[in-house]
Structure 1
């Protein structure tokens, strides 16, 4: 089912439009080197193969897993002879290029720099860490995205109908299609592998349903609609389990969402909100952990990022809890919405503008650093909310120490 031309490639529209580097490589035979970076099953090898099919260039594929420098140099020498004697260009495709060490990648540099070959490297690892800088600087970096649900459905439906696939010998129940899309997780190769395994279970002309698919791939179907009740119910139970410090239940709901194909970025965003809403200053590091997990999701992606998400879930579940932060900001917002704003006290206004000094702006302001402890009695809030206490720290975890600190600060500010 590998596409035979660029028009058959599913997904990656941002790389295949008019004027894009791959289009130039194919349509104009422009010598060009590029690194394709993306998760498994998103079309890196497919794009390289399509280039070989639709151009007159000689195509050579090298696997960094099984081939070494000797093979690389031999292919480069052959490419130079082809270019010099017949004028025929060579596309050198190196799969899993990140598995080449520095010396092996160095062997590619002369061929890339002198354009003896059009180099295409494919990697699932971040090329800024796994590909040497000289090679990366001489190549265009193209990022492939995981296939969306609609893209996967198109791949699956083509395979069902096309003679190169199942050729109509099996049907697919809509519920089974939904489950197959979730199982694939943006990986077209995995979708086709699971579909083929399920087709072997049914007779010719039979229909693959959820039961057949479950048996074929040994993965139970998680009843989960990402836009329906299950989505909201599960995420609600997930957050309430963390809030209630039930780490085991929270991990169950995390696993349920991951297995059902929930967007991991959505999970990470909820963790970030929860870190401030329900943990807050009781453990200020909870927010750092949640943000780090969200960054890991972007950098690493699933399935590896499940570990980072789980770490954040465990941290937040076991952390002391406090909702003082959300109560504080919502209390302040409530007063502002009621119209309790007032004028900024004159001594706090900006005194640098033209004429500001004549109006008394900034006059009488006490510079906190000039006073013991960095705190000095003066009014900061406007009159309508003078004396309001929005932040009321709890006695939970690290927040307990802020209770005493805040009491001392407020007593100095108010001269009590």
Structure 2
């Protein structure tokens, strides 16, 4: 029995890893200078988080350990901590760190804080949401993103298939389709390639016919579009945004033929709030109902609900003011403009100079003149109404009136 191909071709050095150059350059610098720090790597499955952790661990051949936060007990961690006495410092790779319970955290964190344990946490969850703040405050966090299709295709082409003892040629078309079908998961692409090789004759060419014959339906469904699946998704989104009903239906049909109902429904739910938004708020409710119906009945009946809602989204008035507003707000947050919340908006504040909070329901129209933004952001405007649609024009009038009352002095 051969070792699985995905494990056999797993990168052994940083230079062999696909994508994520910025993160890899940082890790290379840290290990080269022997200045490794505790960190968390997060991102979807199959993108190389474990591979990166293993490469770092290769620089600590005697003093690295693994701990699975969902299955290993505190006793296992105590054994690892005992090794600190031997090595002074150890590298600890924590799988599924978002599942680490409070008791284990309390035991581990002092060693991380003092530098006795350098921790690499791995998770598919967003650590800013799923990982305890006490852990986050002691580590650096890096997001690992999916590599591009071209990177994956090149990687597949460089795999030596001679280990199978077969004289096999894989066509460029197959490599291309595998790189698309894997949805950015390198391990999935390798597994599909291995399946094709294992089911091929000793002297053969793996072409599109071999692909359709031997690859499981769930893996080959994206091939039916005849294009990069995500290009078709993008064209569908832009057609709805541009109110082009017939084009949207054309791309919808191609996406339905691909059979990936979950991804299609996710995109439709994103479109309604990005491009229709406040011009027709009830469309969100209608989209949710149509998508739930589609997922409940499945194919082929799902096509009717998605066709109807696609037509209605195209015809609906459009506004992206909510999308633009939150993008501006996020840009400020990402620039570090996260100042102290005004003291009168904080529950149980410790400030001596706390101003009285004015309870809005005690005032006419439920609007009261008081400061809501942090001091350094007073006067900042994120939301700019788009008045070309009837409903948002009404929203605009209410918004402007309320802003005047909130900002009124005295």
Match of 2:44 in 1: 39
The answer to whether 1:14 aligns with 2:12 is: no
Contact 2:249-2:310 at 8 Å conserved across structures: no
Decide whether aligned partners of structure 1 residues 66 and 244 sit closer, same or farther in structure 2, where only a CA change above 3 A counts. same
Instruction: Name the counterpart of 1:188.
Output: 186
How far off its partner does 1:171 sit?
2.4
**Preserved CA contact (<8 Å) 2:236 2:251:** no
The residue number in structure 1 matching 2:210 is 212
Residue 2 of structure 1 deviates from its aligned partner by 1.1
Q: State the distance in 2 between where 1:233 and 1:14 align.
A: 27
> Does the 8 Å CA contact 2:42/2:127 hold for their aligned counterparts?
yes
Matched, 1:107 2:107: yes
SS of match in other structure, 2:44: coil
**CA shift for structure 1 position 94:** 0.9
SS, match of residue 108 in structure 1: helix
| Contact 1:97/1:131 (8 A) holds in 2 | yes
Contact 2:235 2:251 in 1 (8 A): no
Aligned position for 2:240: 239
- Rounded to whole Å, the distance in 2 between the matches of 1:227 and 1:74 is 48
**Residue ranges of structure 2 left out of the alignment (5+ in a row):** 1-8, 288-304, 321-386, 398-410
Aligned to 1:97: 97
Q: Is the 8 A contact 2:225 2:254 kept in 1?
A: no
RMSD over aligned Cα atoms: 4.6
The SS at the match of 2:225 is coil
In the TM superposition, residue 133 of structure 1 has moved relative to its aligned partner by 0.9
Matching of residues 167-182 of structure 1 within 5 Å: 169-182=167-180
The offset of 1:43, in angstroms, is 0.7
Identify the match of residue 29 of structure 2 among 20, 24, 27: 24
TM-superposed CA distance for 1:391, in Å, is 6.0
Residue 66 of structure 1 aligns to a residue whose secondary structure is coil
> Structure 1's 72 and 174: CA in aligned 2 closer, same or farther, altered over 3 A?
same
Say whether the 8 Å CA contact 2:157–2:175 is kept in structure 1: no
Tell me, in whole angstroms, the C-alpha distance in 2 between the residues paired with 1:151 and 1:260: 26
Question: 2:234 and 2:142 mapped to 1: Cα distance?
Answer: 38
Whether the 8 Å CA contact 1:241–1:249 is kept in 2: the answer is no
Q: Which residue of 2 is the match for residue 349 of structure 1?
A: none
Q: Secondary structure at the match of 1:129?
A: helix
In the TM superposition, residue 113 of structure 1 has moved relative to its aligned partner by: 0.8
Q: Given the superposition, is the C-alpha separation of residues 73 and 320 from structure 1 closer, same or farther in structure 2, using an over 3 Å criterion?
A: same
Specify the SS of the correspondent of 2:224: coil
TM normalised by structure 2 equals 0.60
Q: Does 1:130 align with 2:135?
A: no
Give the Cα–Cα distance (whole angstroms) in 2 for the partners of residues 168 and 102 of structure 1. 52
- Range that drifts further, 140-149 or 65-74: 65-74
Residue of structure 2 in register with 1:76 after alignment: 81
Give the C-alpha shift of residue 68 in structure 1: 2.0
| SS state at 1:30 partner | coil
2:30 touches 2:36 (CA, 8 Å); kept in 1? Answer: yes
Q: How many residues align?
A: 300
Q: Which runs of 4+ in 1 moved over 4 A?
A: 165-169, 240-245, 247-274, 287-290, 311-326, 390-393
Q: Quote the Cα distance in structure 2 between the aligned partners of 1:82 and 1:107.
A: 19
Corresponding residue number in structure 2 for 1:284: 281
Conserved 8 A contact 1:10-1:151: yes
Q: Whole-Å Cα distance in 2 between the matches of residues 170 and 264 of structure 1?
A: 39
Question: For residues 146 and 258 of structure 1, do their structure 2 counterparts lie closer, same or farther at Cα, with a shift above 3 Å needed?
Answer: farther
- Alignment correspondent of 1:3: 11
Using the TM superposition, name which of 186-195 and 26-35 deviates more. Answer: 26-35
Map Cα deviations across residues 352-396 of structure 1 (whole Å, 9 max, x no partner). xxxxxxxxxxxxxxxxxxxxxxxxxxxxxxxxxxxxxx9686xxx
| Displacement of 1:187 | 0.5
Unaligned runs of 5+ in 1: 291-310, 327-389, 406-416
For residues 198-249 of structure 1, what are the alpha-carbon distances to aligned partners after superposition, in whole Å with 9 as ceiling and x for unaligned? 1111023422222322322223322332499x8499628973999769x999
In 2 relative to 1, CA 166–268 (structure 1 residues): closer, same or farther, beyond 3 Å? farther
CA deviation vs aligned residue, 1:103-141 (integer Å, no higher than 9, x gap)? 333332022111112100000001012211111111110
Shift of 1:263: 11
- 2-side partners of 1:314 and 1:64: how far apart? 46
Mapped partners of 2:97, 2:286: distance in 1: 32
